[in-house]
Amino acid sequence: MSDIADKVKKIVVEHLGVEDDKVTDTASFIDDLGADSLDTVELVMAFEEEFGIEIPDDAAEKIQTVKDAIEFISANS
């Protein structure tokens, strides 16, 4: 779990170019981290690659915070 969380946060930091300490569990990609819709698609694709999973569109729509991503990936990888 913590391993997944670390990887997720690292991807978010790299993709969105934000400071580590801003990427908290409850941080929203769009509202808190300045992502636009294209960024969220890129993030989902990066998660898929990193963890070797497929995130269906309807699930991707629900991944709005760092915690959402960690929980989905933990449950599906």
Minimum gap (Å) between residue 41 Cβ and another protein: 10
Using CA atoms, how far residue 36 sits from 24, 32, 33, 54, 56, in Å, is: 18, 11, 9, 21, 19
**Contact at 8 Å (CB) between 13 and 23?**
yes
Token pair recorded at residue 28: 């929203």
- The phi and psi torsions of 32 (rounded to 5 degrees) equal -105, -25
Does residue 45 interact with another protein by CB under 8 A? yes
Options 6, 20, 31, 36; binder of another protein; rule CB under 8 A: 36
Choices 4-12, 21-29, 38-46, 65-73; region in contact with another protein by CB under 8 A:
38-46
Catalytic residue among 21, 31, 36, 57: 36
Minimum gap (Å) between residue 71 Cβ and another protein: 25
Residues taking part in catalysis: 36
